Amino acid sequence: MLVAKPCTSMGGVLVQLYLWKEIKLDISKLANEMKAKGYKVKTLIPGIMVVAEFEGYEVSVYPSGKIIIKELRDEKKAEEIARKIYEMAGVSVED
pLDDT tens profile 6-55: 777 767 898 988 777 778 999 999 999 999 999 999 999 999 999 999 98
Beta carbons of 86 and 34 less than 8 angstroms apart: no
The neighbouring-strand residues paired with 49 are 45
Residues with Cβ within 8 Å of residue 33, at least 6 apart in sequence: 88, 89
Q: What's the pLDDT score for residue 95?
A: 54
Map out the domains of the chain with their CATH numbers: 2-72 (3.30.310)
Beta carbons of 2 and 16 less than 8 angstroms apart: yes
Instruction: Kindly report the pTM of this predicted structure.
Output: 0.89
